[in-house]
Amino acid sequence: MRLLTLTRYNSLGASSRVRFYQYIPYLTSCGVELQVASLLSDDYVRSLYSGRRQSVLSVVMAYINRVARLMNSRSFDLLWVEKELFPWFPVRAESFLARRGIPYVVDYDDAVFHRYDMHAYPLIRALLGKSIDTVMRHATTVVVGNDYLAERARHAEASRIEYLPSVVDIDRYSIREKTGEQFRIGWIGSPITAPYVGLIRDALEEVSLKINMRLVLVGAGNQDPLPNMEKEFLPWSEDTEVANIRSFDVGIMPLPDGPFERGKCGYKLVQYMACGLPVIASPVGQNSRIIEQGKTGFLASSTAEWVQALVMLSQNANLRSDLGKAGRKKVEQEYSLQVTAPRLFQILSNAASR
């Protein structure tokens, strides 16, 4: 099978790294001949995270390069696409592929369609509000990371929908064994998602009065969601992310219950659990599927529930260990690359044969 992989970012972009790049070694080992072409560069991602604007010329050149790639799409058995071919443009390329009978699989790990159908400007909603629906409808297969995205694909009348969660390579993750005197509450993400931590400001402030704790933020950049609280900022890199997570005593994922957040795939929870950590998260979207209440962690809706869960875990090392072991086992069975890679290979093979 010859596969043209059209990602949005290089491996610095989390969605591209998790949903595409980490599968490439396995697919290659299965005899798949891959060519990978990202749309946007690492410089674009760095600018996005730092709040700087990328030059218009570089984006225009990126789109031109993608057009050039698509001109050769006939020489491949299948196109494997991240979200859409041309963000913020009317759907033309995907419709062209459908008319030419060129099969493609499209992958979603967030509710990208809400960037359009819930946009502040009516003109954007009118022009692009249904664009992702069109991409889904023309796709040979739509791969989704959670039920919310699957429901949108069904609404769009996608011909085939496959569920594939966001996962980790379990061989890269090891269980944390040592704990220190200070209870480390950890979060990992990007500067764009760091403000979510501020949603539990009251809970963290109350907990800080009850126990000896430190909040650790990995990848928040220059975003400080809790300026008046003692905390530790750690830079993100692929080489150090596992070691940083292993320094936590508990991993957290607060989220608002909004449409876009319901489309998230809970990847950071999977990372925490792979390191044998208990987890606490808002009961939003995929979080409620990943966490088994009281078995692998806790779902917390209110300040009181966040405080109760954090204090209880800080005072009970055996409970932390039991929850962490159960979480690790769940990741091994359901959220590991070792489980999903063969499934993905079959999904792509079936799409190519269709």
pLDDT per position as a tens digit, 22-53: 999 999 999 999 999 999 988 888 887 877 77
Vertex 219: Cα angle to 25 and 235 (nearest 5): 90
Res 86: pLDDT: 96
Both 265 and 349 in one domain: the answer is no
Q: What is the mean pLDDT of residues 80-96?
A: 94
Both 181 and 230 in one domain: the answer is yes
Q: What is the mean pLDDT of residues 210-226?
A: 93
Res 40: pLDDT: 93
Identify the DSSP state of 301. -
Q: What is the mean pLDDT of residues 283-294?
A: 97
Residue 178 has pLDDT above 70, yes or no: no
Both 140 and 8 in one domain: the answer is yes
Residue 222 has pLDDT above 90, yes or no: no
Both 105 and 207 in one domain: the answer is no
Residue type, position 158, single letter: A
Both 134 and 180 in one domain: the answer is no
Report the chain's mean pLDDT, rounded to a whole number. Answer: 95
Q: Which residue has the higher pLDDT, 144 or 72?
A: 144
Domain span at 286: 170-334
pLDDT one-digit tens code per residue, 92-142: 999 999 999 999 999 999 999 999 999 999 999 999 999 999 999 999 999
Q: What is the mean pLDDT of residues 199-221?
A: 96
Both 188 and 321 in one domain: the answer is yes
Both 25 and 162 in one domain: the answer is yes
Both 6 and 141 in one domain: the answer is yes
When pLDDT is cut at 50, 70 and 90, the band that residue 7 belongs to is: very high
Res 196: pLDDT: 97
Is-contact 9 45, C-beta < 8 A?
A: yes
Q: Strands 78-82, 104-108: parallel, antiparallel or unpaired by DSSP?
A: parallel
**Hey, which residues does 106 pair with through a beta bridge?**
81, 142
Both 183 and 157 in one domain: the answer is no
Both 190 and 282 in one domain: the answer is yes
Res 179: pLDDT: 66
- Range in 43-52, 212-221, 239-248, 295-304 with the lowest mean pLDDT: 43-52
Both 202 and 309 in one domain: the answer is yes
Both 195 and 314 in one domain: the answer is yes
- Supply the CATH number for residue 50's domain: 3.40.50.2000
- As a whole number of Å, the CA-based R_g of the chain is 21
Give the span between the Cα atoms of 219 and 267, in whole angstroms.
14
Q: Please state the domain count of the chain.
A: 2
**Other CB atoms within 10 A of residue 80 CB:** 28
